[in-house]
Structures are given as C-alpha cells and as structure tokens.
C-alpha cells in the first residue's frame, strides 16, 4: 500500500486521538524510525495491524473502522488530487469513472500501485451497481470511500452490500441509491 494511504490514517488518528496514540501505534507495529512517504510502498500487513489497533482503541469493529477510514480517505485524496476529482461534476459521474479514469490516472502518477478492479453501472437514475474485486479485500474501505464521495457532492446515499468476498462470494457487490 502506498504511503499516501498511511499518511491519511496518521492524520485521522492524530486529529481525533492525538499524537501520543499515533506514536504508540507506530512503536507497536512498525520498524523503528518509520516515516511514510506518499509515493513509496509499505507492507499491507502494516496498515492492517495499525487499523486493527485503531479499531480496538475506538471500540469499533474492523468493518466499522475501515468504513470510517474510507470516508475520511475520500476527502484526503480529493485534497491531494484536486485536479482529478474536479473533473467530475456529480456523484454518479465520479463513481462510474473510478476504474477507467481515476485509477488510470493513479496508475500514471504512482509507481506500480496496487489498485482494485471496480465495475460500476447505472441501474436507473438513482441506482448504481458497483462491483469491487481486489486480493486486498478492502470492500469496507471501498464502501467508506463511496460515502465520502457522496458527502463531497452533498448527496445522500443508501448503500447495500449484496455479495462479499469475506463470505465466500467471488466479488463484492454494492447497490447504491443516491439523489
Ligand atoms: Mn482509490 C486505493 C477504491 C477514489 C486513489 N481505492 C484504493 C483502494 C480502494 C479504492 C478500495 C484500496 C486498494 C484495494 O482495495 O485493492 N477509490 C476507491 C473508490 C473510490 C476511489 C471506491 C471512489 C468512490 N482513489 C479514488 C480517488 C483517488 C484514488 C478520487 C485519487 C485521485 N486509490 C487511490 C490510491 C490508492 C487507492 C492512490 C492506493 C494504491 C496503492 O496503495 O498502491
């Protein structure tokens, strides 16, 4: 996972719980003197270990924690990659372009990023079906990112997950009602 994702977690933890907790988490789960550089890659297990500790500290489940993180991550990425996010003028427009536009741009900007495969399609004017597929199995983070995207466009959303790779399905499916 790229450093940019860790830096977002760092910002969220420091803003909500303070620097001391973040220092403690780093000490527990990372090699000494760990510094996250956005464009560099770090082990996925390190992010999972940090997020697991955060979930324990907050008394939240891992899915709840990853959802909250994903929601925050959208605004963090939107700030860092303003020109990419500003290409889109609606929630639907952006969600339909995650794979072919946004993550294609990410592919050009970052060296060998690990991205999911996302296939979004319109069911009707207020419903989008989104299929998420990734060996990293971060569907809860994806769901949070979708919430964050809705907040960005001031839209309300209702998201139902109808299949999940954590429950034996081959992919994760979300039915997104918006508007
Ligand atoms: Mn995107 C990683 C989903 C918008 C840039 N993105 C991920 C991951 C998920 C994801 C899930 C975690 C990796 C995985 O599951 O395999 N991303 C989304 C969704 C939206 C989205 C559902 C919109 C909603 N992503 C964006 C935007 C940007 C962006 C906007 C920036 C312009 N995403 C990234 C980067 C990574 C990433 C950078 C990290 C890649 C890596 O660590 O190698």
Q: Tell me what pLDDT residue 9 has.
A: 98
Whether 113 lines ligand 1, by a CB cut-off of 6 Å, is yes
Distance in Å, CA 118 to ligand 1 centroid = 10
Find out if CATH 3.90.1520.10 is the number for domain 90-178.
yes
Q: Tell me what pLDDT residue 24 has.
A: 97
Residues 1-35: tens digit of each pLDDT: 999 999 999 999 999 999 999 999 999 999 998 99
Q: Tell me what pLDDT residue 167 has.
A: 97
Domain residue ranges in the chain: 3-59, 90-178
Distance in Å, CA 56 to ligand 1 centroid = 24
d(CA 82, CA 139): 24
Whether ipTM tops 0.95, in short, is: yes
Ligand 1 atom 16, closest CA: 116
Q: Tell me what pLDDT residue 31 has.
A: 96
Whether 106 lines ligand 1, by a CB cut-off of 6 Å, is yes
Best probe residue, ligand 1, of 80, 100, 105, 115 (max atoms within 8 Å of C-beta): 115
Note the Cα 129 to chain centre separation in Å.
18
Provide the sign of the torsion angle of the four alpha carbons 154, 70, 111, 166, taken in this order: negative
Whether 172 lines ligand 1, by a CB cut-off of 6 Å, is no
Q: Tell me what pLDDT residue 96 has.
A: 98
Distance in Å, CA 115 to ligand 1 centroid = 7
Residue numbers of the chain with a pLDDT score lower than 70: none
d(CA 46, CA 41): 11
């Amino acid at each position: 996972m790229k450093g940019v994702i860790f830096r977002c977690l760092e910002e969220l933890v420091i803003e909500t719980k303070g620097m001391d907790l973040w220092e403690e988490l780093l000490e527990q789960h990372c090699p000494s003197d760990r510094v996250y550089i956005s464009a560099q890659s770090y082990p996925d297990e390190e992010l999972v270990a940090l997020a697991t500790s955060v979930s324990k500290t907050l008394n939240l489940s891992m899915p709840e924690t990853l959802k909250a993180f994903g929601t925050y991550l959208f605004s963090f990425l939107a700030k860092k990659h303003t020109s990419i996010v500003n290409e889109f003028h609606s929630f639907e427009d952006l969600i339909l372009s995650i794979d072919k536009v946004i993550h294609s741009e990410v592919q050009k900007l970052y060296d060998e990023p690990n991205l999911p495969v996302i296939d979004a399609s319109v069911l009707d004017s207020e419903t989008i079906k989104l299929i998420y597929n990734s060996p990293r199995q971060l569907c809860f983070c994806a769901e949070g990112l979708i919430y964050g995207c809705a907040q960005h466009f001031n839209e309300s959303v209702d998201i139902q997950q109808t299949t999940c790779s954590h429950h034996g399905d081959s992919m994760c499916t979300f039915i997104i009602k918006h508007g």
